Amino acid sequence: MKSIDNNYLPRPARIVKVSEENSQIKTFHLALSNPDHNAAFTYLPGQFMMVSVPHYGEAPISISSTPSRPGIIELAVRKAGALTTAMHGMLEGDTVGLRGPYGKPFPLPALKGRDLVFVAGGIGLAPLRSLINFCLDHRDDYGSITLLYGSRSPEDIAFSADLAAWQEEQGVHCLLSVDNAGPGWQGHVGLVTTLLEMIRPEPERSSAIACGPSVMIRFVLAALSRMGFADDHIITTLERHMKCGIGVCRHCHMDKTLVCADGPVFSLAELRGVTIL
């Protein structure tokens, strides 16, 4: 019998811990069930896993942990469909299937030595969290770090513990915004793009990294370009409906570009002429 390519075989992973980020997002802390596989597991910020639950299917989830803190794979999961709803009902000790890591990561060598501006909306902070913590763990390799994070409401803010920790870091500047302020909210109100008007980066020595809903991405990329950021240093990570994760099924195509194989990380230079919405 012909053996099946391991790229198609999920490996069991045990849920070590579940953290509730908000009413719709949970972070699952996972360890591959085989200790040798878990010890040898490596990835880079920006890559994703294909996650499966029996009877509920499989879906791509960005890795939100950082490779500079090995041993645990963290996946932030927003409850949206059958699989993610099933995961939200799982507990410590339960098992999911993992394939990966897949995809093109953030361009770490190109970011080295530069100031970094992160722009995130909602769960779009998850893949950026991986890169932010990687940069903080290699602090001497990067300049200042600015994070602009937008949510629908104060209750929708995710990764609150990380945001609090980052605000205490020297050389890190965090600005938060909500679309709709609730009682007691004293912060900025407006779309995350309005936060760009509140910062004064030096585009010639800075790189910008954005992730969030597709409509947000379109406006953020345009705003960063107007601010003078070079196309090669405006970077985003995109979402599409992926079935295989390795460029075979072509479900995630954008014109002739495949998000899973050619991305999910792209520079604006790579996206010029590509329909991303």
For residue 243, what pLDDT is reported?
A: 76
**C-beta separation of 194 from 201 below 8 A:** no
Q: How far apart are CA 90 and CA 84, in angstroms?
A: 10
**Structure tokens given for 117:** 């501006």
For residue 275, what pLDDT is reported?
A: 65
CA distance readout (Å), 137 to 68, 131, 141, 185: 7, 10, 9, 32
Per-residue pLDDT of the chain (277 residues; tens, 9 = 90+): 333 446 678 999 999 999 999 999 999 999 999 999 999 999 999 999 999 999 999 999 999 999 999 999 999 999 999 999 999 999 999 999 999 999 999 999 999 999 999 999 999 999 999 999 999 999 999 999 999 999 999 999 999 999 999 999 999 999 999 999 878 898 999 999 999 999 999 999 999 999 999 899 999 999 999 999 999 999 999 876 777 888 888 787 877 788 888 889 999 999 987 766 5
DSSP symbol at 97: E
Q: How far apart are CA 155 and CA 178, in angstroms?
A: 9
What value does the CA radius of gyration of the chain take, rounded to a whole number of Å? Answer: 18
For each of the domains in the chain, give its residue range(s) and CATH number, in order of start.
6-102 (2.40.30.10), 108-237 (3.40.50.80)
Q: How far apart are CA 11 and CA 36, in angstroms?
A: 12
